[in-house]
């Protein structure tokens, strides 16, 4: 029974905590999807090609040439002269691996050819050049 002098207060639902929980869950999903992408090499601006294809699932050896023409093998800095021996060692442990060259689009053509030449000196090395789908 309600006393006549008490005001009639309608029931209320406080949704602020629910909004906080929803934003926390949303933040979690956004952050977790950012880590789902697999980055094979160092970040470079790949050239665009309309005939670009997704490579088959196989182990990769990634050679990156950044915009300053610095060469990296599997994200570790190296020199062009040392590439042949390093790739030979990696191919000997995994003969099915594909050597993928990630070259920035601003890198001189001669630098890319020099890297390709060093890789082609390794017997059994399969070579691919990374591009971005246009």
Residue 38 lies in a domain: no
Rounded Cα distance between 3 and 1, Å, is 7
Q: What is the mean pLDDT of the segment spanning 68-88? A: 87
Residue 57 lies in a domain: yes
Sorted by sequence, the CB contacts under 8 Å of residue 97 that are 6+ apart come out as 58, 59, 60, 61, 90, 91, 126
- At 40-72, the pLDDT tens digits run 556 666 666 666 666 566 678 888 888 888 898
Q: Which domain holds residue 119?
A: 48-133
Q: Is the dihedral of CA 35, 131, 124, 82 positive or negative?
A: negative
CB atoms within 10 A of CB 54: 6
Residue 14 lies in a domain: no
Residue 4 lies in a domain: no
Residue 46's pLDDT is what?
A: 66
Residue 124 lies in a domain: yes
Residue 36 lies in a domain: no
Rounded Cα distance between 134 and 50, Å, is 5
Query: Is the per-residue pLDDT at 25 higher than 80?
Result: yes
CATH of the domain at 57: 3.30.420.270
Residue 65: name the closest of 84, 49, 44 by CA.
44
Strand 76-78, strand 71-73: pairing: antiparallel
Residue 80's pLDDT is what?
A: 86
Q: What angle do CA 55, 100, 56 make, to 5 degrees?
A: 15
What residues are paired with 98 via a beta bridge? Answer: 60, 126
Residue 111 lies in a domain: yes
- At 84-119, the pLDDT tens digits run 888 888 888 888 888 888 888 888 888 888 988 888
Domain count, the chain: 1
Q: What is the mean pLDDT of the segment spanning 5-12? A: 74
Maximal CA-CA distance, the chain: 97
Tokens of 41: 């090499």
């Amino acid at each position: 029974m309600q006393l006549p002098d008490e005001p009639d207060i309608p029931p209320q639902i406080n949704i602020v905590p629910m909004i906080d929980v929803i934003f926390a869950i949303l933040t979690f999903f956004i952050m977790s999807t950012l880590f789902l992408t697999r980055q094979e090499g160092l970040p470079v601006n790949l050239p665009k090609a309309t005939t670009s294809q997704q490579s088959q699932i196989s182990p990769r050896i990634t050679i990156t040439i950044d915009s300053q023409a610095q060469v990296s093998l599997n994200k570790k800095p190296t020199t062009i002269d040392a590439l042949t021996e390093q790739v030979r060692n990696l191919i000997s442990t995994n003969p099915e691996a594909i050597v993928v060259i990630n070259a920035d689009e601003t890198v001189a053509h001669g630098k890319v050819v020099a890297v390709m030449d060093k890789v082609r000196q390794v017997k059994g090395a399969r070579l691919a050049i990374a591009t971005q789908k246009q």
